[in-house]
């Protein structure tokens, strides 16, 4: 069982927006501004999309955004494109040089 809870699946229509949640506790998500999100296509290595809750690495489009409220972090993908269909994983610092991942969310673009 993963330390962070993500919905197993999410879907959105082309051109619309979708938000994926990542729920933890005050010992991880709620306690630190250290949440990251990864995108993973089948058979590929994960790609960093968001770090430090809302920072985007170079090359990640600005239609990808992250936020946090209390013990829940969120990833929003706006103006959905077919290439956004992938698995998404959240991660959070959990103190004492330990990090935890969520179980992953499969995003379907319809």
Partner 1 sequence: QLQESGPGLVKPSETLSLTCTVAGGSISSSRYYWGWIRQPPGKGLEWIGIFYYNGATYYNPSLKSRAAISVDTSKNEFSLRLSSVTAADTAVYYCARRPKYYYDNSGHYTSSGSLNFDSWGQGTLVSVSS
- Kindly provide the residue ranges of all beta strands, DSSP E only, lying in 4-104, ordered along the sequence: 9-12, 18-23, 35-40, 47-50, 64-69, 72-77, 86-93, 99-101
Q: Work out whether 57 is an interface residue with partner 1 (CB under 8 A).
A: yes
Q: Work out whether 102 is an interface residue with partner 1 (CB under 8 A).
A: yes
Minimum Å distance from CB 44 to partner 1? Answer: 8
Nearest residue to 17 (alpha-carbon basis) of 98, 97, 101, 84: 84
Beta bridge partners of 40: 87
Minimum Å distance from CB 96 to partner 1? Answer: 8
DSSP annotation of 43 reads: T
Q: Work out whether 101 is an interface residue with partner 1 (CB under 8 A).
A: yes
Positions 4 through 33 that interact with partner 1 (CB under 8 A): 32-33
Q: Work out whether 36 is an interface residue with partner 1 (CB under 8 A).
A: yes
Beta bridge partners of 19: 76
Q: Work out whether 108 is an interface residue with partner 1 (CB under 8 A).
A: no
Q: Work out whether 48 is an interface residue with partner 1 (CB under 8 A).
A: yes
Q: Work out whether 42 is an interface residue with partner 1 (CB under 8 A).
A: no
Pairing between β-strand 9-12 and β-strand 105-109 as defined by DSSP bridges: parallel
**Contacting positions for partner 1 (CB under 8 A):** 2, 32-36, 38, 45-48, 51-52, 55, 57, 89, 91-93, 97-99, 101-104
């Amino acid at each position: 069982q993963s330390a962070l809870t993500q919905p197993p699946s999410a879907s959105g229509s082309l051109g619309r927006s979708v938000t994926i949640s990542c729920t933890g506790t005050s010992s991880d998500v709620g306690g630190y501004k250290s949440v990251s999100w990864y995108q993973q296509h089948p058979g590929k290595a994960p790609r960093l999309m968001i770090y430090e809750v809302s920072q985007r690495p170079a090359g990640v489009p600005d239609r990808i955004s992250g936020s946090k409220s209390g013990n829940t972090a969120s990833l929003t993908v706006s103006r959905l494109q077919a290439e956004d269909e992938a698995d998404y994983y959240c991660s959070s610092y959990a103190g004492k040089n330990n990090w935890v991942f969520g179980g992953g969310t499969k995003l379907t673009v319809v």
